[in-house]
Structure 1
């Protein structure tokens, strides 16, 4: 992993589809997201729930898959989580500011990578959560 400073002026986008996957927020926050995205003209968001946890991340992104699967994940925590796909560094920084300015509960945020494209959503959320806990404990 590289810890180079993010060039927040870099507006070069990766080739992946421009999508925002949102998981673990309350119904009220989901409505607030929808309203906020309408105001900024963003139509590339996908709201996820426990039925999506056993789907591969990239499959969700390319298919806009909101279909329910038969596997129950009722015991998986609703940790606010957002995955950004196809975002430039500048757009990532703008999105962080958007979350903060609109007083959304602070999410765990991940970017789509070559590695995590093939992961199941639940495994990606667990991995990002574990990294988050390591960083908190180092402080």
Structure 2
């Protein structure tokens, strides 16, 4: 499986760099990600940690050298989070299948947008988490 498969019906990719940012997973999961990504030829992934939370999303996406800041974010939770940049719709669906098939903890997922690319990583994760919580609560309330 490759995330670069082209879907004849939807092969449009955004004009953003093709990259996967990964945050909040255990060391064991990161090793598994790295191994599986290399097996399918995906090499545009970056593992992030709490020292990257105070960086702007687009700076991380555009950088080949991720710098770690000295800003303390120790109290920030390790929420499994993945940001996809430059993926077509079909590649996104393939990625979700990849996560499910390989039994990774289900992440919060965001796509790089014009709006969120200027945000700090921690603000994007918080925003996606809040949206997830609202949707989860809404689903629970409608099923009662």
TM score, norm. by length of structure 2: 0.90
Q: How far off its partner does 1:66 sit?
A: 2.2
Note if 1:135 corresponds to 2:118.
no
Q: How far off its partner does 1:9 sit?
A: 4.1
Check 1:8–1:32 CA distance in 2 against 1; reply closer, same or farther (3 A cut): farther
Q: How far off its partner does 1:60 sit?
A: 0.3
C-alpha distance after superposition, 1:18-63 (max 9, x if no partner): 0000000000000000000010000100100000000000000001
The residue correspondences of 1:101-112 to structure 2 (distance < 5 A) are 101-112=101-112
The residue correspondences of 1:87-106 to structure 2 (distance < 5 A) are 87-106=87-106
Larger radius of gyration: 2
C-alpha distance after superposition, 1:45-85 (max 9, x if no partner): 01000000000000000013422111010000000000000
1:59 alignment counterpart:
59
**Residues 122-131 or 62-71, more deviating:** 62-71
Q: 4+ residue runs of structure 1 moved beyond 3 angstroms?
A: none
Q: How many residues align?
A: 133
1:31 alignment counterpart:
31
Segments of structure 1 that go 5 or more residues without pairing to the other structure are 1-6
Segments of structure 2 that go 5 or more residues without pairing to the other structure are 1-6, 140-144
